[in-house]
């Protein structure tokens, strides 16, 4: 017996016209997507939020931390005001949790409180988190805060300070930051030097001279420092000694260093070609 679409319709098994299937598939795909389900299942009623505000006001430090973790997920003027208040809590762990919440949304009204903690907080772990949060703002007016933090005896504070300073994308700040960058490149902690080299995007002859000297003075076994130095050198035209140091790394035992050296030389070649083309125009 031959089964036709007409017989299927008559038997009641025909679900819908085939032309409607794409629309239905699209509807279920969107509605049942993780992001859609997340929006549906994580929505809170105002009373739920108020419950956590009350928990913070009346709870111990554990309950306060739990309250912040819930409230910070729902951005609003009330939430930001609450986080600023919590950033002044007597418990250092609560101040850190509040700073993490501010970092999540970067509200402009909180930058003053974050700067205050980044400048004068006595607890190193809180100050570190304040500097980390402040770097999310990329605010030119925060440059002095990062510069002062570079004088800290705590190397973790100094490392976070140079990260924040290098994130500020402002021409004037970049120019006046060069002495502080040179200071970071002279830091006795190698991790800070590597961080500075990896995050550095400013091109300046004073920086070039320092980076070049690091390359030539670094022992062959310090792979991470050498690789960071080669990365920072890209975009410059090299002097003879620097180019020879890079060429020597083409036969280094470490594969990543050989690749980094090749890329550094390729970068110079491309720069020279670009300059020649501009000169001939």
By residue count, the chain amounts to: 281
Which domains are present in the chain?
1-43 (no CATH), 203-281 (1.25.10)
At 159-180, the pLDDT tens digits run 999 999 999 999 889 889 999 9
Confidence of residue 6 (pLDDT cuts 50, 70, 90): very low
Distance between CA 150 and CA 158 in Å, rounded?
5
Confidence of residue 46 (pLDDT cuts 50, 70, 90): low
Is the separation of the CB atoms in 106 and 118 below 8 Å? Answer: no
Q: Is the pLDDT of residue 28 over 90?
A: no
Task: For the chain, report the end-to-end CA distance as a whole number of angstroms.
Answer: 81
At 94-151, the pLDDT tens digits run 999 999 999 999 999 999 999 999 999 999 999 999 999 999 999 999 999 999 999 9
At 207-266, the pLDDT tens digits run 999 999 999 999 999 999 999 999 999 999 999 999 999 999 999 999 999 999 999 999
Beta-carbon contacts of 220 under 8 Å, excluding residues fewer than 6 positions away, are 226, 252
Q: Which residue has the tokens 């390729």?
A: 266
Is the separation of the CB atoms in 103 and 136 below 8 Å? Answer: yes
* Longest alpha-carbon distance in the chain: 90
């Amino acid at each position: 017996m031959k089964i036709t679409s007409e017989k299927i319709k008559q038997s009641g098994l025909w679900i819908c016209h085939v032309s409607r299937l794409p629309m239905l598939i699209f509807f279920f795909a969107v509605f049942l997507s993780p992001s859609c389900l997340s929006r549906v299942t994580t929505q809170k009623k105002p009373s739920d939020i108020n419950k956590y505000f009350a928990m913070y006001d009346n709870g111990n430090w554990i309950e306060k931390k739990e309250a912040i973790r819930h409230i910070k997920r729902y951005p609003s003027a009330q939430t930001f005001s609450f986080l600023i208040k919590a950033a002044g809590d007597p418990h250092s762990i609560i101040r850190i949790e509040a700073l993490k919440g501010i970092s999540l949304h970067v509200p402009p009204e909180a930058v003053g409180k974050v700067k205050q903690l980044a400048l004068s907080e006595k607890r190193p772990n809180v100050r570190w988190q304040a500097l980390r949060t402040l770097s999310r703002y990329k605010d030119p007016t925060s440059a002095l805060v990062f510069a002062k933090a570079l004088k800290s005896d705590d190397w973790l504070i100094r490392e976070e300070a140079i990260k924040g300073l290098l994130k500020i994308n402002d021409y004037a700040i970049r120019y006046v930051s060069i002495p502080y960058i040179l200071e970071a490149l002279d830091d006795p902690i190698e991790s800070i030097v590597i961080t500075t080299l990896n995050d550095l995007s400013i091109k300046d002859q004073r920086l070039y001279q320092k980076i070049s000297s690091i390359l030539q003075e670094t022992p062959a076994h310090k792979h991470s420092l050498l690789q960071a130095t080669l990365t920072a050198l890209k975009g410059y035209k090299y002097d003879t000694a620097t180019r020879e140091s890079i060429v020597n790394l083409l036969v280094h035992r470490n594969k990543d260093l050989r690749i980094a050296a090749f890329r550094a030389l390729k970068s110079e070649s491309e720069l020279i070609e670009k300059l020649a083309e501009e000169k001939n125009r």
